[in-house]
Amino acid sequence: MQTGVGLNIKGELSATEDITIRGTFEGTIDLPKHRLVAAEGSRVNASVTALAVTIDGRLEGHITAESVDIGPKATVDASLITGKLALEEGATFNGAVNTERARAAANIAKHRTTGAAAQGKEVSAVR
């Protein structure tokens, strides 16, 4: 799904597909199994949870994702919890990066899944 350049959205966004934002978004974005792209020219002020986040525009807030890619024209003022961070030359980034917490959370989830599966139990993830 893509938002338009002139579109301004405030609120909570969750989806079962990848999302590309080309306009302005303010609020929370929840895409735990999908990718968020903040396209060039976009302005996002949000708390983001996604599988992967690519920023080519402007993003302020908080990001929790397995991987974050900050493009050469991006401006990011956010705290990050991620296992992988790519910061391209020319990008502007201001914020804290926590990779240990992301790694620890992934290990806990992995052990819960494998332990429950070994016992024949159904596993559900809560974020």
From first to last of its 127 residues, the chain has per-residue pLDDT tens of 656 667 888 999 999 999 999 999 999 999 999 999 999 999 999 999 999 999 999 999 999 999 999 999 999 999 999 999 999 999 999 999 998 766 676 677 666 665 544 445 444 444 4
- Are 31 and 51 in contact by the 8 Å Cβ rule? The answer is yes
Cβ contact 28:46 at 8 Å: yes
Extended strands (E) in 39-111: 43-55, 58-70, 75-87, 92-94, 97-98
Contact 76, 95 (CB under 8 A): yes
pTM of this structure: 0.77
Task: Please report, for the chain, the start and end positions of each structural domain, with discontinuous segments joined by +.
Answer: 8-99
Rounded to whole angstroms, the Cα distance separating 80 from 91 reads 15
For residues 28 and 19, what is the distance between their CA atoms, to the nearest angstrom?
13
